[in-house]
Amino acid sequence: LGPQEWGYCTNSNQPKPPRAHYDHVTKTLVLCMDHYCPWMFNTVGYFNYRYFCNFLLFVFVGMFYGALLSFRPFFAIQTDDYWRQIQWSKEHHKHSPIQHSTSFEYTPTPPERTAIAFSFMICVSVGLAVMCLL
């Protein structure tokens, strides 16, 4: 068959257009099939490729925004302000958990430390991975 000739799909028992492929997950013929996307739960092809690209763009923008929000607290974790905040909180609040003060507003408390590090690293790594797909 040439590139412009129709064929016959034995899986779906239908005429097969040029550049169409049978998708075994959705059990349909897909024109210009690119791949099956488990996040969109659909096959990416001719009619929805732009939606897939929009999805990747919005995921990248969201991860970039998340990395921007957690950038300053993440890099304030190992600074001198972090240790001064812990000392200040221990001196002023002997029997209560460590609290924020106005002079250390971007410095996370010890319970927040893991969540901030995790969110920053996830946002950066997923953002870079999705950017490679764009």
The verdict on whether 9 is a catalytic residue reads no
Beta bridge partners of 28: 23
Catalytic residue among 32, 37, 123, 132: 37
Q: What is the 3-state secondary structure (H, E, C) of the chain?
A: CCCCCCEEECCCCEEECCCEEEECCCCEEEECCCEEECCCCEEECCCCHHHHHHHHHHHHHHHHHHHHHHHHHHHCCCCHHHHHHHHHHHHHCCCCCCCCCHHHCCCCCHHHHHHHHHHHHHHHHHHHHHHHHC
Residues tagged active-site: 37
